[in-house]
Amino acid sequence: MKPEFLKPDYLQNELGNKFFPNLMLHRKPENLPLQINWRRVFILPTKPGLFFAFITFLMLIASLNFNNNMGLMMTFLLVGLAQVALYQVFFNLKNLTIDHVTVKPVFLGEEAEFMIHLKADEVKYDICIKNKSSSKDSLTPCLIELPADELHPILYTTMTSKRGWLTLGKIKILSSYPFGLFFAWIWTNIDAKCLVYPIPEISPPPLPTHAQSDGETTVIKQGEDFHGLKPFQSGDSMRLIAWKRTAQTGALISREFQQTHGKKLLLDYAQIPLADTEAKLSRLTAWVLIAYQQQLDYCLKLPQFNSGYGYSSKHHLACLKELALFALPQSKTT
């Protein structure tokens, strides 16, 4: 029986994280808020920094050869400047806190917009975010100034390539303040993910009528019967916000309405005459969007899922989420 500290898990997670926090990063996503440990900061010279070093070296050789004291003075001042820049760049990332990340669900093909909120107890400058796949020419989002004790977001966008949960993944937070001679960076694997809905079919066929049950035909309008208040949910119409109440409580409150149901709409996965799963999901997504727009009472039926009839935004979002996560490994749902 091995002692506990010799077990591979223990070595990797406990000791590894303790002594080499940077190396063990990829093991598990990190929880927010996360204050960056100074031991995780890496520093290397940038390309301009290397050129600066090269020129300084030439200056040193030339001044030394002729024992030109003013030249040496200048050269050593540049060496001193580089030394200061090296430490300043480190100070600029030290104790940076990633407070939280907000992200809204998007449809496949749109860009996922992660708002990464940063905070620090000192002023920070020129903080940029990159990931592994960021190409050189792509524009890097940067925060030019992060005032002390203020929360500021950096908008970090990535293209979505498949539906389901899109994790933020490993990102690099970097800075080359003050002179661009050195850049300091940290890798972090923030636990943040964006829900990607299937791409809605561009021109879907009209809503199915086969499962439509008869009812009274009523013109559906908003605000027929005031039902109650509920916390604002993304997706709710702006017009539904109860501003008065919002002002009192400080949290967004939207009004909820009950409607006289006209049609009942069944959107059944099994009944769509398409072979491809993704195409089916696309069509269902398009229909769900139309049904929600028209405030129809609809029910989404997927294998192993039945939403029941509903029309609320909550219902709508639940449906979209199911569509997004359909037939994906369970572990990815929350």
Q: What is the 3-state secondary structure (H, E, C) of 273-328?
A: CCCCHHHHHHHHHHHHHHHHHCCCEEEEEECCEECCCECCHHHHHHHHHHHHHCCC
Per CB under 8 A, 48 contacts another protein = yes
Name the one residue in this structure whose structure tokens are 């080359």: 176
The one among 40, 41, 56, 282 contacting another protein by CB under 8 A = 56
The one among 107, 179, 187, 257 contacting another protein by CB under 8 A = 179
Per CB under 8 A, 85 contacts another protein = yes
| DSSP class of 11 | I
Residues contacting another protein: total by CB under 8 A = 63
Per CB under 8 A, 57 contacts another protein = no
The one among 25, 40, 96, 126 contacting another protein by CB under 8 A = 126
Of 1-9, 135-143, 255-263, 303-311, the window that binds another protein (rule: CB under 8 A) is 135-143
Cis peptide before 33 (omega within 30 of 0): yes
Q: How far apart are the first and last CA of the chain?
A: 37
Q: How far apart are CA 33 and CA 312, in angstroms?
A: 33
User: Taking CA 101 as the corner, what is the angle to CA 99 and CA 103, rounded to the nearest 5 degrees?
Assistant: 165
Phi/psi region, residue 271 (left: phi>0; alpha: psi -120 to 50; beta: rest), is alpha
Residues 6+ apart with CB under 8 A from 84: none
The one among 11, 15, 44, 55 contacting another protein by CB under 8 A = 55
| Range 202-205, long-range pairs (CB < 8 A, 24+ positions) | 202/286, 204/283, 204/286, 204/287, 204/290, 205/283
Per CB under 8 A, 58 contacts another protein = yes
Per CB under 8 A, 266 contacts another protein = no
Q: How far apart are CA 52 and CA 326, in angstroms?
A: 55
Picking from 204, 227, 231, the residue whose alpha carbon sits closest to that of residue 290 is 204
Of 43-51, 99-107, 163-171, 215-223, the window that binds another protein (rule: CB under 8 A) is 43-51
CB of 29 or CB of 71, closer to another protein? 71
Per CB under 8 A, 97 contacts another protein = no
Of 12-20, 151-159, 261-269, 298-306, the window that binds another protein (rule: CB under 8 A) is 151-159
Q: How far apart are CA 275 and CA 188, in angstroms?
A: 41
Least distance (Å) between residue 173 CB and another protein: 14
Per CB under 8 A, 177 contacts another protein = yes
Chain residues 228-247 in contact with another protein, contact rule CB under 8 A: none
The one among 15, 104, 121, 332 contacting another protein by CB under 8 A = 121
Least distance (Å) between residue 100 CB and another protein: 13
CB of 52 or CB of 269, closer to another protein? 52
Per CB under 8 A, 68 contacts another protein = yes
Phi/psi region, residue 295 (left: phi>0; alpha: psi -120 to 50; beta: rest), is left
The one among 74, 103, 241, 252 contacting another protein by CB under 8 A = 74
Contact positions vs another protein (CB under 8 A): 47-48, 51-52, 55-56, 58-59, 62-85, 87-88, 91, 121-123, 125-126, 128, 137, 139-149, 152-155, 176-181
